[in-house]
């Protein structure tokens, strides 16, 4: 696995070309990995506490700002929803 720091201070872990983890530790103490269970904070598209699994990650700050870089498949959703860290409850916190 290769680890690389990107603009904005986030650490991105790669397995070949695949992004397997994004660590926003320098920004907000947040780390997201493929397959990680997360919960919606209710800001966008899904109700508060709705369970989801991270299925895709994109490199943060590739457009110069925090984009929707975390692809989450929520219970009851028809497709992956792209979210920012602020759209999810803090990792490890359950509703």
pLDDT interval class at 60 (50, 70, 90): confident
pTM here is 0.84
Residues near 64 by Cβ (< 8 Å), separated by ≥ 6? 7
**94 domain residue, yes or no:** no
Per-residue pLDDT at 90 exceeds 90: no
39 touches 89 (CB < 8 A)? yes
Per-residue pLDDT at 26 exceeds 70: no
Instruction: Give the count of domains, the chain.
Output: 1
48 touches 42 (CB < 8 A)? yes
**95 domain residue, yes or no:** no
Question: What pLDDT does 63 receive?
Answer: 65
Per-residue pLDDT at 22 exceeds 60: yes
Per-residue pLDDT at 18 exceeds 70: yes
Question: What pLDDT does 29 receive?
Answer: 67
pLDDT interval class at 65 (50, 70, 90): low
Strand, coil or helix: 88:
strand
Domain, as residue range, for 66: 2-87
> Which of 51, 33, 32, 31 is closest to 41 using CA atoms?
51
């Amino acid at each position: 696995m290769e680890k690389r720091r990107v603009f904005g201070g986030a650490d991105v872990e790669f397995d070949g070309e695949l992004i397997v983890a994004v660590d926003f530790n320098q920004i907000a103490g947040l780390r997201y990995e493929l397959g990680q269970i997360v919960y919606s904070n209710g800001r966008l598209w899904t109700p508060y506490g709705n369970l989801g699994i991270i299925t895709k990650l994109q490199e943060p700050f590739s457009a110069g700002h925090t984009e929707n870089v975390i692809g989450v498949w929520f219970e009851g959703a028809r497709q992956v929803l792209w979210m920012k860290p602020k759209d999810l409850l803090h990792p490890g916190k359950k509703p």
